[in-house]
Amino acid sequence: MEHVRSYYAASANPAPLREPLRGDVIADVCVVGGGIAGCSTALHLAERGFKVVLLEAERIGWGASGRSGGQALPGFGTSMATLVDQVGRDDARRMWDISVEGVELLRRRVEQHRIDCDLHWGQMHVGVRPRHPAELASWQQELERDYGYGGLRYMSKAELREWLATDRYNSGLYDPRGAHLHPLNYTLGLAAAAEQAGATVYERSAVTRVTPGNRVRIETAGGTVTADFAAICCNAYIGELVPRIRARMMPVGTYIVATEPIDPDRLRATIRDNVAVTDINWVLDYFRCSADHRLLFGGRVSYSGLDPLNTRSVTRARMIKVFPQFKDLRIEHAWGGWLDVTMNRAPDFNRMAPNIYYAQGFSGHGIALTGMAGGLIAEAIAGQAGRFDLFTKLSHRDFPGGRLLRTPLLVLGMLWYRLRDLL
């Protein structure tokens, strides 16, 4: 199967079509999933000298890693207060520092492996509702005071208007250390780097069974991998492979459109310094410019897991609400996909057996944090589990309702947050 039709697939760097697994293979580590988390895990381990096999059900970057909004941010999908409540202030500070390291890791990987992925620095969160200016100002103070994260710039509506030619937003918080990139090309670059370091990558090799034991047995339709360790990095596309960890994560749909190319001067007059932007509504909008001067605009999450038929028109309408001056533009690409959220939107890193690791629940903060998760899994497999085990202290609950009712119950619960966005 090819990548889902999207702007990213249409502008992807050339990549080989890798063979599926055939026969029986022995490895030190088997990684399941060819997104950023899986490719990062494979790369880190191969650099440490492990014999690594990576199995991808479709193509490298086929899932969320190759379809997302492409914004690389420190932090998590939940508030730091949630983490403090669960693990205390000191460990929450360590988690924050790891997330910041994740953005630096991304920069280092791009430079080290010369990954052509249109990496650009500068990201901004923006407010919509009357309460949002105070929330952004408080967030800046919290990050500077409690987490030593400086360099942020708060903007009033008047200041923000100099950066974004829209009246939609009333405040902004600019982070020069946030970034955005072409996520599919970044993922393809990580996979190529992992292979260069010695990992073996198989595509079109959906895993059908994971059997724990002193040595883990991983089965596909075409063969098996027997390994000392395994890393499950499937996230929103895990299906029913491991129901126990699937129950703690919910796939959530999000949708993106890409306009036709825009005159560069017109685009610069609308979005200053090529900054990436995300609003702070619960049901949020996010946007940025592509390297070939398109506007990429996303949002409109679907907690039902269904991809509505009018994705293109509804997402375009949201875009025009922000930038009415772009109503003349054609939409050339529209696509969607699933991201993985947990009940509390905190990351879920743990073990399903002593030698089987998993990482999921990135909750919209996957571009940088998935790469860092791969590094933490590699550290743990190599015998340095302290930083990985920090995240196992977080408590996670199964989504209520079981296999049949969990989605309808979540949809009902999210209605409250949708109403809150209107206040």
Domains of the chain: 7-412 (3.50.50.60)
Residue 236: pLDDT band with limits 50, 70, 90:
confident
User: Mind listing the pLDDT tens digit for each residue in 167-221?
Assistant: 999 999 999 999 999 999 999 999 999 999 999 999 999 999 999 999 999 999 9
Q: What pLDDT does residue 163 have?
A: 98
Return the bridge partners of 223, or none: 23
Using the Cα atoms of residue 371, residue 379, residue 215 and residue 196 in order, give the sign of their dihedral. Answer: positive
Looking at residues 339-360, what average pLDDT do you find?
Answer: 94
Alpha-helical regions (H) of 148-256: 157-161, 183-196, 243-246
The answer, yes or no, to whether residue 343 has pLDDT greater than 90, is: no
Q: What pLDDT does residue 73 have?
A: 96
CA distance 89 to 92: 5
Q: What pLDDT does residue 301 have?
A: 60
Residue 99's Cβ-side half-sphere holds a number of Cα atoms within 13 Å equal to 27
Return the bridge partners of 111, or none: none
The answer, yes or no, to whether residue 407 has pLDDT greater than 60, is: no
Is 247:288 a contact under the CB 8 Å cutoff?
no
Looking at residues 369-373, what average pLDDT do you find?
Answer: 98
- 3 state SS of 25: strand
Looking at residues 4-14, what average pLDDT do you find?
Answer: 97
Residue 403: pLDDT band with limits 50, 70, 90:
low
Nearest to 270 by CA among 324, 231, 318: 324
Q: What are phi and psi of 44, to 5 degrees?
A: -60, -45
Q: What pLDDT does residue 421 have?
A: 45
**E strands in 290-419:** 295-302, 331-341, 348-353, 356-360
Is 334:260 a contact under the CB 8 Å cutoff?
no
Q: What are phi and psi of 239, to 5 degrees?
A: 60, -135
Residue 288: pLDDT band with limits 50, 70, 90:
very high
Interhelix angle 132-147/80-87, nearest 10 degrees: 50
Q: Which two tokens stand for residue 274?
A: 């090529």
Total-model pTM: 0.93
Percent of the chain with pLDDT over 70: 92
User: Mind listing the pLDDT tens digit for each residue in 22-38?
Assistant: 999 999 999 999 999 99
The answer, yes or no, to whether residue 304 has pLDDT greater than 80, is: no
**Highest-pLDDT range among 53-62, 282-291, 296-305, 341-350:** 53-62
The answer, yes or no, to whether residue 404 has pLDDT greater than 90, is: no
Looking at residues 8-12, what average pLDDT do you find?
Answer: 98
Q: Which residue has the higher pLDDT, 397 or 46?
A: 46
CA dihedral 294, 295, 300, 306 (to 10 degrees): 0
Is 107:119 a contact under the CB 8 Å cutoff?
yes
CA distance 396 to 346: 8
The answer, yes or no, to whether residue 362 has pLDDT greater than 60, is: yes
Q: What pLDDT does residue 180 have?
A: 98
CA distance 170 to 281: 13
Q: What pLDDT does residue 401 have?
A: 57
Interhelix angle 183-196/89-112, nearest 10 degrees: 80
Is 75:247 a contact under the CB 8 Å cutoff?
no
CA distance 135 to 122: 20
DSSP for 104-163 reads HHHHHHHHHTT--S--EEEEEEEE-STTHHHHHHHHHHHHHHHH-----EEEEHHHHHTT
How many CB atoms are closer than 10 A to CB 162? 9
How many CB atoms are closer than 10 A to CB 88? 12
Is 182:70 a contact under the CB 8 Å cutoff?
yes
Residue 419: pLDDT band with limits 50, 70, 90:
very low
The answer, yes or no, to whether residue 242 has pLDDT greater than 70, is: yes
Residue 300: pLDDT band with limits 50, 70, 90:
low
Q: What pLDDT does residue 405 have?
A: 42
Instruction: Output b/e per residue, 171-195; b: 16+ Cβ within 10 A.
Output: bbbbbebbbbbbbbbbbbbbbbbbb
Q: What pLDDT does residue 379 have?
A: 98
Looking at residues 307-321, what average pLDDT do you find?
Answer: 82
The answer, yes or no, to whether residue 265 has pLDDT greater than 90, is: yes
Is 325:259 a contact under the CB 8 Å cutoff?
no
Q: Which two tokens stand for residue 191?
A: 């996979």
